[in-house]
Amino acid sequence: MKYKKSITTLVLVIACLAFVATIVGIFASGGAGPKEIQTLHDEVITLHGKGLYQFDSVSGASQVIAQDIVTLCLSIPLLLLSLIWYKKGSIKGRLMLVGTLSYFLYTYASYAFLLMYNPLFLLYVILLSASFFAFTLVMVSFDYENLHTYFHNNLPTKLIGGFLFSLSFLLLFLWLGRIVPPLVNGGVPVGLEHYTTLVIQVLDLAFIVPVAIVGGILVLKRNGIGYLLATILIVKGITMLTAITAMIINQARAGIPMTVMEYALFPVFNIVVIYCLYVLLKHVQEPRIPGGIMDENTNLVRN
């Protein structure tokens, strides 16, 4: 398999550093406690005041701590299991690996650009860099000419394509609904607090929404690249939606007001995306020749 050693090294670096980052994020203590401040937009918010995220808002810190818990308990084990599966020459393992790496790329891009500066800043930068290069190497390792042959012809493309379109429209509805009214009225978007810009909305609208739309179209056309994009978004969706569900729970515990839609929609979407992953992997067929498994150049190797 192409770039196997480099990918393995990068994945192990990501797993180790993410373990350190999450443990510190979850268990770090200290700080003066919650503190009210006035933002540049004359909004009064409460800082978390404790641990690694003491300079983030109560809402922001509760979300990041919840995401750290999901990263520690779900995403790191999934990354390592995917690596083991990938090293055995499995297409399913490679698909799971690239999808899980997309979660780490997205997560540490948001940490590096969004969070208030803290002692783990350089660790976030290294994790972002390692995730980017590992993701890129796995992406270029696929045999794109034969990618469509890795999936059975009876894959329910309408289900997968419909999910991708639903994901894109959901994100558009949520984020434009938050961004456009303040632009028209001259106000400040809900959730900006003392941060400089809406980093999550930037990542979703600039990358996730277009990829979901293009992926949905290509899946309906039974294009192999569409299947790959769908797998990436679905695996990332499982880890990310699990994190969002945990964020909602943690925000509720912290007394942050949430809408009924937020309480219900994301957990339901989480269940749907898990089912979509099951359907996708069920219809993956490993390319083989008699007595052989995948090879570095041809995707097939002899024993």
Let me know: does 212 contact 168? Beta carbons within 8 Å.
Answer: yes
Mean pLDDT of successive 10-residue segments in the chain (303 residues)?
Answer: 90 98 96 92 93 94 91 96 95 95 97 97 98 97 91 94 94 92 91 93 96 97 95 91 79 68 74 92 76 40 31
Would you state the pLDDT for residue 263?
66
* Cβ-Cβ contacts under 8 Å for 72 (sequence gap 6 or more): 18, 19, 22, 23, 26
* Cβ-Cβ contacts under 8 Å for 271 (sequence gap 6 or more): none
β partners of residue 293: 301
Q: Report the C-alpha dihedral over residues 128, 129, 132, 133, rounded to 10 degrees.
A: -150
Would you state the pLDDT for residue 248?
77
Bridge-based pairing state of the strands 35-38 and 44-47? antiparallel
Q: Which residues of 35-56 are buried (b: 16+ CB within 10 A; e: fewer)?
A: eeeeeeeeeebbbbbbbbbbbb
pTM, entire model? 0.90
Bridge-based pairing state of the strands 301-302 and 292-293? antiparallel
d(CA 224, CA 283): 13
Would you state the pLDDT for residue 181?
94
Would you state the pLDDT for residue 118?
97
How many Cβ atoms sit within 10 Å of the Cβ of residue 8? 15
